[in-house]
Amino acid sequence: MTQRYFEDLRSGERLQSGQYIVTEKEIINFAREFDPQPFHLDATVARQTMFGSLIASGWHTAAITMRLFVQTLNFAEGAIGLGVDELRWPAAVKAGDVLEVETEIVDLRLSRSKPSHGIVRLRNVTTNQRGEIVQTMSASALVLRRSDGITR
């Protein structure tokens, strides 16, 4: 897969990720390690909560979103996260859900402190197999420019 540089992006461009199937085992394993709360850990307990079944930690959804994003954009030498805003989880992620991410490039500017890099502002929207939005976020990341600075 071709590696992408700052110059390869266009403001307003939208990119669609591949798919990720969320399993009950993964939901529970992530929760045990990072978010040990009853509605993420145990399907029987979760049935008695307001969600009615086991749901994934929001941080698990965020991590899956990162994986789909990284695979889709494939920046040369990676993308260095500067910050995230407006991270929301409007619907729960459950076992068997199939997630995908649409990335919109919101803004592009050169980095003043690192002339070898540009700063990308983007918005990621994560949806399930029914098209329901399970996560939205805005982010900024530092990505490498082509050494010749030429747009191809």
How would you label 58-95 residue by residue, b for 16+ Cβ within 10 Å and e otherwise? bebbbebbbebbeebbebeeebeeeeeeebebebbbbb
> Does residue 100 contact residue 63 with C-beta atoms inside 8 Å?
no
Nearest to 139 by CA among 104, 101, 114: 104
Q: Which of 23, 47, 53, 70 binds a second copy (CB under 8 A)?
A: 70
By CB under 8 A, what part of segment 7-66 binds a second copy? 30, 33-40, 49-50, 57-59, 62-64, 66
Indicate whether 121 belongs to the interface with a second copy (CB under 8 A): no
Q: Which of 17, 22, 56, 89 binds a second copy (CB under 8 A)?
A: 89
Q: Which of 21, 43, 84, 98 binds a second copy (CB under 8 A)?
A: 84
Nearer to a second copy, 57 or 126 (CB): 57
Place of tokens 């399993």: 23
Other CB atoms within 10 A of residue 31 CB? 22
Which residues would be at the binding site for a second copy (CB under 8 A)? 30, 33-40, 49-50, 57-59, 62-64, 66-67, 70-71, 77-89, 114
